[in-house]
Amino acid sequence: MASIEAVKAKYEARLMELPNVAGVGIGERAGAPVIKVLVTRKFPKSALRPEEVVPETLEGFKTDVEEIGVVTAQPT
């Protein structure tokens, strides 16, 4: 079985092409590692086309979609 880092790297570009996806990372949910998909806004699956839905798992690792809002650069 591939590592979660390898699976994230394999699917990151494809996930970034989905609507509202702002980032992809690795996190934890209920004590298990997950692939975090950060979105500007969450929508119900019924509002998305099938090809726009984040898969529930990627090669055995669960995904976790988290709404983070719009990301903007802050002045330094």
End-to-end CA, the chain: 43
Task: Indicate whether 75 belongs to any domain.
Answer: no
Residue 31, domain member (yes or no)? yes
Structure tokens at 22: 């702002």
| 14: in domain | yes
Residue 29 placed within a domain:
yes
Of 25, 22, 23, residue with least CA distance to 8: 25
Is 62 inside any structural domain? yes
Which pLDDT tens digit goes with each residue over 27-48? 999 999 999 999 999 999 999 9
Q: How confident is the model at residue 5 (pLDDT cuts 50, 70, 90)?
A: very high
Quote the domain boundaries for residue 60.
4-67
Please tell me the pTM assigned to this model: 0.88
pLDDT tier at 18 (50, 70, 90 boundaries)? very high
> Can you read off the two tokens belonging to residue 16?
């970034």
